[in-house]
Amino acid sequence: MKDRFNKKVIVLAFVLFVTLICSTSQSNLLTPEANQIYEKYHNAILQVRVISRGSKEKSSLGSGFFFTKDGLAATNYHVVSDAVNFPQLSFVEYILADGQSGEAEVVNIDPVHDLAILKIKAPVKQFLEIGDSQLSKGMKIFSFGNPHDLGLIIVEGLYSGLMEHSRYRKILFAGSLNPGMSGGPGVGGDGRVLGVNVSTAGNEISFFVPVEYLKQMYDELIVHPNQTLGPKWRKIISQRLTVEGNQLINKIISSSWTKSHIGLAEVPGQISDVFRCWGESGDNKKYWLIGTYLTCATEDEIYLSNTMQTGRIFFEYAWYESRSFDPVRFYNVYESYEKSSRADFRNAEERDVSNFVCEQEFVNIGGHPCKVEMCGRRYKMYEGLYDMTMRVTSTDMWSKGLIANVFIQGVAEIQGKNFFLKFLNEIKWQN
């Protein structure tokens, strides 16, 4: 009994020591301006937790901030997603700067831009004014949050502009965000909010969600002052993802596509500025094959739950060519490569999606017969949304061939098919 008590004392002492060191280091590293901003605005910041109804322990942890005097607070959707998707299992709890705590109500969500608005029934000592994200590069900005459950801190960094060429517009912050700071505010020297902490890429590179998206969510609540937008969250998530996905697919389809060359094929390459492409080559001497590979993908994902992400579009090509004229041997290997290239989606689990249903046919593409297989699986919780795949395999060349795979996550079925049709029409062949 005594040993256990001594161990608890040692652990407690260590935690206090780490907290003290972190607090001391934070104080020593901060500029007078950062200290002043912290002292002036820290009462507007809160800690946000999702609590398991069964164990009464936290399952996720983040930050938030008041932005109205009547108790509306902003945070990230991914922080509160468990309580949104499974309210019978979890609820949202807040902890104010003075230690006061209670249960918070989720009143609006935007999973596309990873935002949520909470309603808190507690006196608001302070709230932050909403600003805008249009600043000059190099301006000093500050981020509040609760990293690793160690207490409230402020991080000083620089505004590095808007990432316009990503699927979801984000602010680039030259500073370090840490786990637990998600949902906290990014503010300028005047204390006005320019963005919401969302993620980090490490090495002093982090991201904010532009505050304009929070303004849009707040405007929705103003239009409906006597009701919240919940609790039919799954329907709202479906609607938001469908609208955003349709806008993106329509924009991509209506644009002129940049082409890449792989083997004898001219294929879609960086078809939009939200895609990035990479290429490589290989030589499989065992099977006498030379391979050329190209992959293009969007880099952003939408977080829906701890088992499900969506929102990516990516396509990949493999061109195989035999170093000897042996059609039988080539097609045996080529067929095995084609089968092994089937889509392996790992963005969801069995509770989230149905099994894939596929259909295939042979299609003439630019004078070359190809086998085309399209597959889809529906989202169980978000009606009208699907993961969709298409695989194209050339079948008429004796010692060479093209395999193309296209993957789309979280799209309406008709939009996915429209994208596939455009993709097929863009494949051309060199003479």
| pTM, full prediction | 0.86
pLDDT at residue 386 tops 60: yes
Let me know the angle formed at the C-alpha of 305 by 199 and 295, rounded to the nearest 5 degrees.
65
pLDDT at site 230: 63
| Band of pLDDT at residue 229, cut at 50, 70 and 90 | low
pLDDT at residue 148 tops 90: no
Summary mean pLDDT of the chain: 88
pLDDT at site 61: 93
Cis peptide before 231 (omega within 30 of 0): yes
Is the model more confident about 50 or about 285? 50
| Band of pLDDT at residue 343, cut at 50, 70 and 90 | low
pLDDT at site 288: 76
CB under 8 Å to 131, separation ≥6 — which residues? Answer: 187, 188, 190, 192, 193, 194, 211
pLDDT at site 339: 77
Helical H segments across 73-195, by residue range: 77-85
401-427 mean pLDDT = 96
Is the model more confident about 50 or about 164? 50
Nearest to 143 by CA among 38, 271, 13, 231: 38
Specify the range with the lowest mean pLDDT, choosing from 116-120, 364-368, 425-429.
364-368
Amino acid identity for residue 5 in this structure? F
Q: Check if the beta carbon of residue 84 is closer than 8 Å to that of residue 109.
A: yes
276-287 mean pLDDT = 82
Distance of CA 299 to the CA centre of its chain: 8
| Band of pLDDT at residue 168, cut at 50, 70 and 90 | confident
pLDDT at site 331: 79
301-318 mean pLDDT = 94
pLDDT tens for each residue of 362-380 = 999 988 999 999 999 999 9
pLDDT tens for each residue of 120-134 = 998 899 999 999 998
pLDDT at residue 422 tops 80: yes
